[in-house]
Chain A
Amino acid sequence: MSAPGALRRVAPWLLLLLAAGVWLGPDYALGQATMVATYAIAGLGVVIVVGQAGQVTFGQGALVALGAYAEAVLAGRGVPVILSLPAAVALGAAGGALASLPAWRLGGLYFGMSTLAFALLVEEALVRWEGLTRGAAGLATPALALAGVALDAPLAQALASLATLLCALFFCRRLLASRLGRAWRAVREDEAAAEACGIDAARAKTLAFAVGGALSGLAGALYAHWIGFISPEQFGLMFSFELLMLAFIGGARRLAGAAWGALVIVAIPQGIAVLRDLLPGDWARAAGLEAMLFGAVIVAVVLLRPGGIAGRR
């Protein structure tokens, strides 16, 4: 990417951050940026699985949960981040590969249902395995520490998550340009034709899930640190659907779609909450106003940009 091209892509994000910083205060804007970047990393996993490999997944939230719990358990036992983070990524990848096994036999919605079952199994296991996860009571996670320095300031957290997102984007970009990326797209367009061309479709799908799982695990690890307290209910089916929605709103076929989708999913409700404060009297108190407005924004995006914000019109 040329320097002016890179600037053109980064400029809207910086302007958004700047506007949010002036309007809402720097810590709040940086907190938003942290969450948007973290969700975008998880969204990249969905973009790989759904947008590139063309598979249906309803259980991506469970892979985020695996990463979050791996990180929380290891960090809680004093394991340095240089070891715990790769472990979280590896567990996410292993979970993704495991969730993809039914794809060898099943396809389409039937396979989608199996990912749903996988998500339910993971959530149940997190509740039951109390000795490790403290069950439904939840698990506290210490602040992310790099070389003994705790990243507990909003600026440090935002920089860490943005840097991780950029690394993840770079990695995915290289991957999509590789032989494997082409294999994913071939499987997405026509699985039988891809196999006739010598592509091992089952292997390609498993690898898509493993990469998607690794990205989800990475996002989960960061999420655990930023939130500081994780419990199984945070990674329920609603969360999986939220990630799926994120990818489709942003544009499932493009990597930038994950970032745009995360912006809509994470920041728009907060923006609505701020605007609500400006409403007069009892309007500001109306229950469900934010959910209703958020729904309207989603419908508008889907109608106006059916290919997602980053996709073609």
Chain B
Amino acid sequence: MRLLSTLLAAVLATVPLSAAATPGVSEREIVVGTISDLSGPTALLGVPVRDGMLMRFEEANAAGGVHGRSVRLAVEDAGYDPKRGILAARKLIQRDRAFAFIANLGTPVVMATMPMVLDAGRLHLFPFSPHEATYSPLHPLKFQVFAPYQEYMEAGTRHMVGRGGYARSCLLYQDDDYGLEVMKGVESGLAQLGKALVTKTSYKRGATDLSSQVARLRAADCDLVVLATVVRETVAAVSEARRIGWEVDMLVTASGYSAQTHELGGAAVEGLYGISVLPHPYAEGASPALAGWIERYRSRFGAAPNVWSVMGYTLADLFVRAAEAAGPTLTAERFAAALEALRSPPDFFGSPQYRFDPTDHLGNRHGRLAQIRNGRWELLTDYLE
């Protein structure tokens, strides 16, 4: 044990302690960490989010940086595994000395790493997890822009049912926290209209055959089916309904609002309603500003951007704006104060206006209604209050 202590002391002595007052901030550089999923079950989301953030930071650096400092994104791949997430967080805190963590991905990873990040006095910004703990209870260092599904599914269902006059609303949901969260929102939205779910049926994550669930919903004579599904299950559910000749209206959550839904589903998903928290960047019919952005992204990463690329870009943009507003002496406290005062301006993506204040660190609670028409998502409403 004495040998171990001696060795540990030697290790501690060899590690230089930074003289900088704020970890991750030097005269030339700001280090921002992200714990993403580049190889696991949500890599389809993690890669474009990372690329979107890289693009925005590279733009900021090309324009002279933030108060003369370039922003460096230190990326760690946890593969949706909390054990790897913990080690990645330790590495980013101690070795890379990240000033802030941005867009950490996956509820298990976020919940496992967030206490460590906050204990180290680092900012925990905009994680990809709809868990309420990411913004509540209020903590000076944690900020979120993704509301729990319950929040915008409540408004979305209320608007959809009120507008369409549906009498028999039903729910198909994934049998996990995501599905249960959506269920709460749908039930609450219906309750505000004096209605209740006629029936609900679930499937296990990863299921590919939803024929029995769709048959059950049809037997219940539903006239609106809310889908708490992800892309593949959305396509499976809608295709199955159309295959058996059931032309019921369906509304999917933001998890199904993806270009992949109509790319995979084709004609079968035509007319599907969805909730969008950020519009998909279609090249066709894009404004000049958006078209230029799409082209720059494509030439930088060799792939077309999707809604997650936009999200990554937007989150990095929020970071750059807040860091600019915090002034040349950058500290976590100044950054947090700048973010609390920030009002994101309208952008060419059609993003919601993100706003925080000292008593509320959730920057957006609203989604908008969209529908697949002619093989692409079209927005039907503004952000629903």
Contact = CB atoms under 8 A, between A and B. Distances in A.
A28 B15 contact: no
Contacts of A234: 81-82, 108
A251 to B, nearest CB: 22
A102 interface: no
Contact of B180 (A27, A137, A154): A137
B8 A228 contact: no
Given A24-B95, A273-B76, A287 B39 contact: yes
Contact of B95 (A25, A136, A137, A227): A25
Contact of A24 (B3, B91, B111, B176): B91
A86 to B, nearest CB: 24
Contacts of A270: 84, 87-88, 91
28 contacts: A14-B7, A17-B11, A21-B12, A22-B15, A25-B15, A25-B91, A25-B95, A27-B93, A28-B90, A29-B11, A32-B87, A136-B177, A136-B178, A137-B180, A138-B107, A223-B83, A227-B86, A228-B112, A229-B112, A231-B107, A231-B108, A234-B81, A234-B82, A270-B88, A274-B91, A274-B95, A290-B77, A291-B39
B47 interface: yes
Contacts of B176: 127, 135-136, 233
A284 B177 CA distance: 34
Contacts of A227: 82-83, 86, 112
Contact of A288 (B12, B38, B94, B107): B38
A154 B90 contact: yes
A48 interface: no
B87 A14 contact: no
A32 B274 CA distance: 43
A226 B86 contact: yes
A115 B11 CA distance: 44
Interface in A128-166: 135-138, 140, 152, 154-155
A306 interface: no
A22 B108 contact: no
Contacts of A302: none
Nearest to B119: A152
Given A18-B7, A234-B108, 9 more contacts: A21-B14, A22-B15, A28-B91, A31-B86, A35-B86, A135-B176, A231-B177, A270-B88, A290-B39
A151 to B, nearest CB: 14
B11 A21 contact: yes
Contacts of B8: 21, 26, 155
A14 B86 contact: no
Contacts, number: 116
A311 interface: no
Given A155-B8, A229-B108, A27 B83 contact: no
A269 to B, nearest CB: 7
A273 B88 contact: yes
A35 B88 CA distance: 12
Interface string A1-45: 000000000000010011001101111110110010000000000
Interface in A260-274: 266, 269-270, 273-274
B337 interface: no
A288 B79 CA distance: 9
Contact of A136 (B7, B83, B180): B180
Contacts of A31: 86-87, 90
Contacts of B112: 227-229
Interface residues of B, number: 43
B10 A14 contact: no
A223 B4 CA distance: 23
A31 B93 CA distance: 12
B83 A35 contact: yes
B64 interface: no
- Which of B76, B82, B108, B175 gathers the greatest number of chain A CB atoms within 10 Å? B82
Contacts of A25: 15, 90-91, 94-95
Interface string A209-251: 0000000000000010011110101100000000000000000
Contacts of B108: 138, 229, 231, 233-234
B111 A17 contact: no
- Which of B15, B81, B83 gathers the greatest number of chain A CB atoms within 10 Å? B83
B57 to A, nearest CB: 13
B14 A22 contact: yes
B115 interface: yes
Contacts of A137: 177, 180
B43 interface: yes
Contacts of B43: 287-288
A18 B7 CA distance: 7
A228 B87 contact: no
A28 B7 contact: no
A228 B119 CA distance: 13
A136 B175 contact: yes
A35 B95 CA distance: 18
A269 B3 contact: no
Nearest to A124: B204
Contacts of A136: 175-178, 180
Nearest to A284: B75
A152 B111 CA distance: 16
Contacts of A29: 11
Given A17-B7, A18-B10, A28 B95 contact: yes
Contacts of B180: 135-137
Nearest to B47: A287
B181 to A, nearest CB: 8
A35 B91 CA distance: 14
Interface string A281-306: 00001011011000000000000000
A286 to B, nearest CB: 9
A31 B89 CA distance: 10
Q: 4 closest A-B pairs (Cβ-Cβ)?
A: A21-B11, A136-B176, A25-B94, A229-B111
B62 to A, nearest CB: 16
A21 B38 contact: no
Nearest to B302: A282
Nearest to B76: A273
Contacts of A231: 107-108, 177
Nearest to B4: A14
Contacts of B81: 234
A257 to B, nearest CB: 20
B90 A228 contact: no
